[in-house]
Amino acid sequence: MNERVTSPQKYYAKMPYFSARGVSVGTAFPGGVPPNQPLPAGQRRDVTWDGGRHNLNGFTSGDNIRYRIPEDGVYHVTFNASVWGNTVRAAGENLNAYITAEGSSGQGASGSIAHTTYQHQQANGYTTIRVSVTEYFTKGSSVRAQVYLDSGATGRWGIAANDYDADFNAFMVSPSENGWAQPALKPPSLAGWKDDRVVSVSDMNGSSLDVFGHLENRPRFTARGTSFNVASSQEKVALAWSGMYANDSGFTLRRLADGYADQTAITIPYTGMYLINFFCAVRHGDGTDAASYGFQFKIHGNSGDARIVSQNSTTRLNQDCSIAVDDLAYLAAGETLSVRFYGWGANTRWVNGDGDGRINTLGAVYMGA
């Protein structure tokens, strides 16, 4: 009974995670340069974390750069870095943040699995970069955080060292020992037991094995690849996704409504809370240098016209700029989720960015009713 009930509950009460806060400080520079990890131009720099300020549960790290995955499963990973620079071009400097996986086997994620790009616009100031992703990793692989600074940047640059300026975190969402493609089990009903009732094998399985089978492979989807071309007179467009992976057939990628492109909405199979993950890049090749854009998440159905909104601005023509979002949202079975792009700026035409690292992604994991 302990093996079936008590031991799994102890495990699910504290699944693997790590939290690294504060980067390792490099050589101090005079002249008002804050403590930081130096960031040379034109290099994709691994972030080195302060080993005295990280918390590990199952994860290990031999170099305070790479954090080793302790077991197969789906993990949510977040990376934040605040970059300081004492010079900046009039049109801004591009800063890129990456989450990179390596050493995976089988179906595990590998390479640049998440990527955002922001534009630093103020000399002697900070720009905070954020990127996050939910992915399937295999035991023994590792994740690391990286930052890239424009090759044309001049002056002194660094990743701020304070623990509230930089952090790198991961936690397991579900173990999923049988791979990314394993079909999910539907949420169990968890019917209560009654006094004087004989507990059958199916009753016991329904309240233990079936429950843990669901928790070990939560329903989820990941949609990747989008393209758009939005004229200034049009302003907005619903994102159409090139394709979608889902481990539950209840998630369907379809047309939002008449007048929309195909594959602009995803149907939700179960009522409850979902961990949503999104990042997408845009660029503008004409119009004003300084222009703003945003992405709006819209829920269509009984929950009302709920929204998650994220906005950013870009100052450089023909340069990618992106947004990363992760959030918890309540969705009802049968509702659809869509994302719209909004672009603002006189005579500005917006197109999708084409950066590396799966830069256009929408995903969600069912967390429970």
We report the CATH number of the domain holding residue 306 as: 2.60.120.40
Confidence check: pLDDT of 106 > 80: no
Please check whether residues 247 and 170 belong to one and the same domain: no
Confidence check: pLDDT of 101 > 90: yes
Number of domains, the chain: 2
What is the arithmetic mean of pLDDT over 115-134? 90
Last residue of a domain, one of 174, 208, 229: 174
What is the arithmetic mean of pLDDT over 48-72? 94
User: SS3 string of the chain?
Assistant: CHHHHHHHHHHHHCCCEEEEECECCCCCCCCCCCCEEECCCCCEEECCECHHHEEEEECECCCCCCEECCCCEEEEEEEEEEEEECCCCCCCEEEEEEEEEECCCCCCCCEEEEEEEEEECCCCEEEEEEEEEEEEECCCCEEEEEEEECCCCCCCEEEECCCCCEEEEEEEEECCCCCCCCCCCCCCCCCCCCCCCCCCHHHHHHHCHHHHHHHCCCCEEEEEEECCEECCCCCEEECCEEEEEECCCCCEEECCCCCCCCCCEEECCCCEEEEEEEEEEEEECCCCCCEEEEEEEEEECCCCCCEEEEEEEECCCCCCEEEEEEEEEEECCCCEEEEEEEEECCCCCEEECCCCCCCCEEEEEEEEC
Domain that holds residue 117: 14-174
For 213-254, write each residue's pLDDT tens digit.
888 889 999 998 999 998 877 778 999 999 999 999 999 999
Please check whether residues 289 and 346 belong to one and the same domain: yes
More confident residue, 239 or 303: 239
More confident residue, 305 or 111: 111
Please check whether residues 73 and 163 belong to one and the same domain: yes
C-beta separation of 155 from 38 below 8 A: no
First CA to last CA distance, the chain: 26
pLDDT at 32: 64
Please check whether residues 168 and 53 belong to one and the same domain: yes
pLDDT at 304: 61
Please check whether residues 167 and 241 belong to one and the same domain: no
What average pLDDT does the chain have? 88
What is the arithmetic mean of pLDDT over 161-182? 84
Q: Is residue 41 part of a domain?
A: yes
Please check whether residues 22 and 148 belong to one and the same domain: yes
Length of the chain: 369
pLDDT at 289: 76
pTM: predicted TM-score of the whole model, two decimal places: 0.90
Please check whether residues 143 and 286 belong to one and the same domain: no
Confidence check: pLDDT of 31 > 80: no
Q: Is residue 211 part of a domain?
A: no
pLDDT at 172: 96
Please check whether residues 227 and 156 belong to one and the same domain: no
Q: Is residue 208 part of a domain?
A: no
pLDDT at 83: 93
pLDDT at 90: 79
Strand partners of residue 365: 220, 275
Q: Is residue 212 part of a domain?
A: no
Q: Is residue 206 part of a domain?
A: no
Reported confidence tier of residue 164, pLDDT bands at 50, 70, 90: low
Please check whether residues 20 and 158 belong to one and the same domain: yes
Percentage with pLDDT > 90 across the chain: 47
Q: Is residue 4 part of a domain?
A: no
Reported confidence tier of residue 29, pLDDT bands at 50, 70, 90: low
For 326-351, write each residue's pLDDT tens digit.
999 999 999 999 999 998 877 888 99
Q: Is residue 250 part of a domain?
A: yes
Please check whether residues 166 and 292 belong to one and the same domain: no
pLDDT at 358: 65
Q: Is residue 8 part of a domain?
A: no
For 258-292, write each residue's pLDDT tens digit.
889 999 999 999 999 999 999 899 988 877 777 88
pLDDT at 97: 94
Please check whether residues 350 and 233 belong to one and the same domain: yes
Confidence check: pLDDT of 356 > 60: no
Please check whether residues 86 and 235 belong to one and the same domain: no
pLDDT at 232: 72
